[in-house]
Structure 1
Amino acid sequence: MVHSLWLGSHQFFILALPLIFWLSDHHFERSPVYILGMSVYFTGILKDLFCIPRPYLLPIQRLAISNRASEYGFPSSHSAISASMFLMGLQYALHVQLIVQQLTLFLGLILYGFLLVFGRVYCGMHLIQDVACGWTIGVFAWTIHRVFGEVVKQWATSTQASVPLVLIVCGLILTAAHPQPVDNCPCFEDSTAFVAVSVGVMNFVMLVTLYLPKLDDDDFS
């Protein structure tokens, strides 16, 4: 069960996100980057704001695959990632034509969500309320992208000269707005990394649209 924690690690998404781009039908394009980024950013803010430690396990040894077991526990960023990935996968499965592929995706998503969330509780990394709040944040991040994603995409891919400047300023504001934790915590590093990636991706898409208009947007999704 401890190895299921890898499903929410940086290494997993370094491998998984490019595969989504290369093997999918480009229906989601850059959506996973933005949704996962919001999930990590929102959970990072709450972790550093409340500074609630992980569960205190007196006779039990906590199981972990990284050196981050000492960071704050509320809310669970793995649960937020699990919720957002589950909803994105469910949205993708609804566009699949073959019933067998749909059922396979549904079962895979259920297994992924269960292993990732239950594994955090089993290994002593989180309490139930940590997981519940994380799932709520993941659903919230997916909903924001579902409602405003297309509008932001149209604006970011426009040829307005102010787009890069606005994106950079927004990225700096989001970075400055991140609370300062009591103890050292990698949440700030994760949040700023996702903000930088999201801003960089949007700026790159804008430059491609401006200087390489004949190329299909799917080639850079």
Structure 2
Amino acid sequence: MQGGAAEDLVHLKQVGQAIDICNKETPSKRQKEELVKPPLDVLRVEDELFISPSVDAALLRARELFASSVALPIAWLHLDANVESSRTRKHERVKEGAQSVCRLQETFRCKPLDRYFLLWSFFAEEEFYLLSLPLLFWCGDYRFARHMTYVVCFGLVWGNLLKDVFRLPRPRNVNSKVWVPSSASQIDSTACRDFGFPSTHAMNSVSNAIFAVLYGFYHGTAISGGLLGLLAGCWIFSVSFGRLYLGVHSPMDVKGGMILGLVVALLVYNLANAFDDFMLGTPYAAFLLAAFASFVLVLNPQPRPMTPTFLQNCTCCGLILGCAIGFRMESQRRTASAFQTEPVQSVAAAALRVVIGFSILLLARLVLKSCFTSLLRLVGLEPNPGKPVPRSEVEGPEGCRQEIKGWELFAAAVLKTSVYTSMAWTIVCGAPAIFHMLGIPCAMNG
């Protein structure tokens, strides 16, 4: 499946050409091929009645209006009358950009740079954030870690919404001469199956770096201003230019992502404290935030064939929700006299918090996923649809032809959102409570 194909029909044809899973050979005939469960976004969603004809029609209309409200300002900024005309014009720019990418690769490509930019692409992936942000919460700056979580997740949600509205291809899908390393899809959390504009890697590189610089200047940091700016510039260049070098984005994708990243950094920097006050001072703030997250996910564009962006947005909304709720609960807990304890600032204590914290996270993920899966199955929903198939059917150009129902996709979304909400709460509130009981409390500076 190529979620960023030049046209949706090309994408659909690739999926339709796949071998029907019902007619596949038995495992005994394919002993050398590993059976794997295909990602949900490579499965076709069955067209079915979701609730009722009238409700389904209203939901579809609401999604169209929501998509327009998200993307129309971007189209107007480019002096386009509507989203469709903007998409048509940008599609031509992708073709021009693909030629620029080819020229860039012909000029600069070499093995050391291949490795360098592949390495830097990891620093805008989900795995990197799930490793680094807990360290910041437990051993670094609690407030910076929380606000950076909002920067990363809000940027990804916004960028993914725009991707599924504009539906613009990646350079390789319009020009076969564009080189893309085989390992790029393995490092990319979406395996490059989503659309191209905007580049969320470039967006995150700018939003993270600019926010870190602004935060450092305002709150003070052990790193000097000049060095911090130099590190930020290196981060932005290495990730953003790397998207062009690796052939996974056009110049327009990267430019759009960088501009949006600047907007995200400024928005979160100016609104994060107000959001903290809202979470601490508003009754039922958690329920209001959960309702808003559900609203965004329900109205999230649903392109067919699917792309990985919807389930990634479920992850991001869950992380924002769990982080905000955990912050409120941890703040309330620490105001109690019983928890007025000075944090233990030592290398040994920090190392112990890291080992214990990640052990708690791994255990929590296993338990939470199992519990939520059982609960969903108890009410008749299957959150893990799809049958195991040979790996070649998933990774090959033909894709994997299986169908899932709309309610199964809904269950998968509920599972992912719930698990990541719980994991974020564990990082922000659950693990610090355990650290306190063990006598190695971490700091909380706001």
Check whether TM > 0.5: yes
The residue number in structure 1 matching 2:121 is: 5
Give, as a single letter, the amino acid of the residue that structure 1 aligns with 2:176.
L
Q: Report matched runs for 1:11-50 at 5 Å.
A: 11-50=127-166
| CA distance, structure 2, for counterparts of residue 85 and residue 208 of structure 1 | 25
| CA distance, structure 2, for counterparts of residue 206 and residue 93 of structure 1 | 24
Q: Is the 8 A contact 1:156 1:202 kept in 2?
A: yes
Q: Secondary structure at the match of 2:144?
A: coil
| CA distance, structure 2, for counterparts of residue 182 and residue 194 of structure 1 | 22
The residue number in structure 2 matching 1:205 is: 327
Q: Is the 8 A contact 1:205 1:220 kept in 2?
A: no
Q: Secondary structure at the match of 2:170?
A: coil
The residue number in structure 2 matching 1:128 is: 251
Deviation at 1:86, TM superposition (A): 1.1
| CA distance, structure 2, for counterparts of residue 131 and residue 119 of structure 1 | 10
Give, as a single letter, the amino acid of the residue that structure 1 aligns with 2:118.
V
Give, as a single letter, the amino acid of the residue that structure 2 aligns with 1:39.
G
The residue number in structure 2 matching 1:154 is: 277
Q: Using structure 1 for the length normalisation, give the TM-score.
A: 0.88
Q: Does 1:219 align with 2:424?
A: no
Q: Is the 8 A contact 1:96 1:102 kept in 2?
A: no
Give, as a single letter, the amino acid of the residue that structure 2 aligns with 1:140.
V
Q: Residues 88, 154 of structure 1: CA spacing in aligned structure 2 closer, same or farther, 3 A cutoff?
A: same
| CA distance, structure 2, for counterparts of residue 120 and residue 102 of structure 1 | 27
Give, as a single letter, the amino acid of the residue that structure 2 aligns with 1:153.
D
Q: Report matched runs for 1:1-221 at 5 Å.
A: 1-55=117-171, 56-63=174-181, 64-66=184-186, 68-94=191-217, 95-96=219-220, 101-158=224-281, 160=283, 162-214=284-336, 215=339, 218-219=443-444
Q: How many residues align?
A: 219
Select between 55-64 and 134-143 the one with higher mean Cα deviation.
55-64
Deviation at 1:19, TM superposition (A): 2.8
Q: For structure 1, which runs of at least 5 residues remain unmatched after alignment? A: none
Give, as a single letter, the amino acid of the residue that structure 2 aligns with 1:61.
W
Deviation at 1:127, TM superposition (A): 0.9
Q: Secondary structure at the match of 1:178?
A: coil
| CA distance, structure 1, for counterparts of residue 143 and residue 444 of structure 2 | 12
Q: Is the 8 A contact 1:159 1:210 kept in 2?
A: no
Deviation at 1:25, TM superposition (A): 3.9
Q: Is the 8 A contact 2:153 2:316 kept in 1?
A: yes
Give, as a single letter, the amino acid of the residue that structure 1 aligns with 2:320.
S
Deviation at 1:23, TM superposition (A): 4.4
Give, as a single letter, the amino acid of the residue that structure 1 aligns with 2:266.
T
| CA distance, structure 2, for counterparts of residue 112 and residue 13 of structure 1 | 15
Deviation at 1:92, TM superposition (A): 3.3
Give, as a single letter, the amino acid of the residue that structure 2 aligns with 1:156.
M
Deviation at 1:27, TM superposition (A): 4.9
| CA distance, structure 2, for counterparts of residue 163 and residue 70 of structure 1 | 36
Deviation at 1:195, TM superposition (A): 0.6
Deviation at 1:26, TM superposition (A): 3.9
Q: Secondary structure at the match of 1:60?
A: coil
Q: Is the 8 A contact 1:39 1:77 kept in 2?
A: yes
Q: CA RMSD in A?
A: 2.3
